[in-house]
Structure 1
Amino acid sequence: MTTGRNESLARWRDLLRFRFRGRWRPAAVAMFVFAGALFVTTSVNSKGLDLRAASITDLDHVVRSERIHANDLQNRVASLNGEVGRLTRLVDNAQVEELQRQVDELREPAGFAPVRGPGLTVVLDDAPKNLIKAAYEPGGITPDELVVHQQDIQAVVNALWAGGAEAMTIQGERVISTTGIKCVGNTVILHGVNYSPPYRISAIGSVSDLYASLDNSVYVDAYKTFVDAYQLGYEVTPSISLEFGGYTGTSALKYAVPGTPDQPSRG
């Protein structure tokens, strides 16, 4: 009986081998083809980038590279503007000369000419790193309360203008009428360039008037409450002489349209 059972099992085993032998090889080939197609699709979708997080380019390096690129473009714009001005002055035409004279008169109030004079510098900074780190722990204050935001910088800028500032810079960049301050995370973008704290805001004008305007601003006072509570940075330093370069970026308007006496502008 045992011998017969073993022979029966052997026949079934041989039969199964025969039935599946022809199917296994095509299935294996199909699996390899599918895996290869998957690898190709992944490579195409990633556009040649390594999808592992550890190999992605460091964000700080990207920001620095973009800042260098933006500075190069601004320098190029300044060079082209200078060339346009030089060629314009070579034109022997009374009407062109009159227009150029008007442009020259407007360069300083518009922020395109260098300026020097007494003033002060306001420095805004985030809270100490240990406090920011502790804010991520359960029950702590929110990290947003420990960093400088767009509205904080804008509060100081507006107070300085209200105090009679004749010219202003943020992070050494000349501020003009079209300058916009945009908050991105814990950094700000100014003239297309990303800046990190501390933020230095300098203004030329009557030092006493600038101080008084900062002290009387309710928005600056709101920021000072966080300075007292969470150790954010706020420092004001007067200066006998500050020197600002002229704005060198483009003066083209993207949305606003200059108006005429007969037809007011529409922004």
Structure 2
Amino acid sequence: MGDTGARRARLGRLLFGRRPSLWGLLVPVVLVLAGLLFATSAVTAGGRSLRPSDTRDLAGVIDAQDAALEAKQRTVRDLSGQVASLSARNAPADSRLRAMTQRAAALDRAAGMQGVTGPALTVTMTDSTRSVDSFGGEFTADDLVIHQQDVQAVVNAMWRGGAEAMMIQDQRVISTSAVRCVGNTLILQGRVYSPPFVIKAIGDVDGMRQTLDQDPTVQIIQQYVAAVGLGYDVATQPSATFPAYDGSAKLRHATVVG
């Protein structure tokens, strides 16, 4: 009996007399805090995702913005057509007004506000398909992509060579058009483009080919074509048609020429 009583006493101490450990105290606290966190998230979200997929998908954001811009451009084209139609129908029959209208129409072609058809030269530029590692440290990643200054050099050479109208990708280029580089993509008039970059110009095809061959910056591009495999191709079209520019021509900054 004495032995049995001693064993019972030891068992009682093991079951009921053990002091709680630190881990045993922390587990309930962690569970309570986790429950509060889940409840707070549910109330804040209100049944919606706190992190929509479009904010994590940059390509999706760009595509959505491009689609929205295209819709707005279609609206602008429709409204511009209505304005032109109403102006022509309701304008008073005044000789001075007719003269001004004719003068504006004559300037429309040079300003890019009319469609143009004629022989064209097309320059296509694209990034190298080789990896940086394949050059053993001789070149960097920047050397393997087409940059803003490369596109601008081709554009300027074609204007000097006799281009009368120009398009980059699917957009008509006018005097206020600007090409900006963002990584290995280009932004033109609010839209984002990835390579290959296509520059087309209607005008003196032979003159444009000559200025491209003689331009120092274009010659450097051609050196990189041979060295790292940049894409650079020039082609001639007997006839091409460019649409009229239909975006905003409003100037944000201007300086009076003395």
TM-score bracket for the superposition, by shorter chain length: 0.7 to 0.9
Separation of aligned partners in 2, 1:27 and 1:219: 68
Q: Give 1:38 shift.
A: 5.3
Separation of aligned partners in 2, 1:50 and 1:86: 44
Separation of aligned partners in 2, 1:197 and 1:233: 10
Separation of aligned partners in 2, 1:206 and 1:28: 77
Question: Given residue 65 of structure 2, which amino acid in structure 1 is its aligned partner?
Answer: E
Q: Is the 8 A contact 2:118 2:238 kept in 1?
A: yes
SS in 2 for 1:197: coil
Q: Give 1:47 shift.
A: 5.3
Q: Is the 8 A contact 1:165 1:204 kept in 2?
A: yes
Q: Is the 8 A contact 2:55 2:61 kept in 1?
A: no
Which runs of no fewer than 5 residues in structure 2 stay unpaired? Answer: none
Q: Is the 8 A contact 2:184 2:194 kept in 1?
A: yes
Cα distance per residue 1:161-219 (max 9 Å; x no partner): 11121111111311101111011221111111111211111111212211111111111
Q: Is 1:78 paired with 2:77?
A: yes
1:231 equivalent in structure 2? 229
Question: Given residue 223 of structure 1, which amino acid in structure 2 is its aligned partner?
Answer: I
1:91 equivalent in structure 2? 91
Question: Given residue 124 of structure 1, which amino acid in structure 2 is its aligned partner?
Answer: M
Q: Give 1:245 shift.
A: 1.1
Equivalence map 1:1-150=2 (5 Å): 3-4=5-6, 7=9, 10=12, 14=16, 27=29, 30-37=32-39, 39-40=41-42, 43=45, 48-49=50-51, 58-89=57-88, 90-92=90-92, 94=94, 96-128=97-129, 131-132=130-131, 134=133, 139=137, 141-150=139-148
Number of aligned positions between the proteins: 250
Separation of aligned partners in 2, 1:111 and 1:251: 10
Which runs of no fewer than 5 residues in structure 1 stay unpaired? Answer: none
Q: Is the 8 A contact 1:164 1:209 kept in 2?
A: yes
Identity fraction in percent: 35
Separation of aligned partners in 2, 1:29 and 1:207: 76
2:215 equivalent in structure 1? 217
RMSD: 3.5
Q: Is the 8 A contact 1:256 1:265 kept in 2?
A: no
Q: Give 1:133 shift.
A: 6.5
2:201 equivalent in structure 1? 203
SS in 1 for 2:131: helix
Separation of aligned partners in 1, 2:112 and 2:79: 18
Separation of aligned partners in 2, 1:28 and 1:238: 72
Q: Give 1:92 shift.
A: 1.1
Counterpart pick for 2:253 among 250, 253, 256: 256
Question: Given residue 118 of structure 1, which amino acid in structure 2 is its aligned partner?
Answer: P
Cα distance per residue 1:229-267 (max 9 Å; x no partner): 0111111112222221110111222x225x7xxxx379x
Cα distance per residue 1:29-88 (max 9 Å; x no partner): 7435433345348848x953368xxx9765444433333332222222122112111122
Normalising by structure 2, what TM-score?
A: 0.80
1:165 equivalent in structure 2? 163
Normalising by structure 1, what TM-score?
A: 0.78
Separation of aligned partners in 2, 1:25 and 1:175: 67
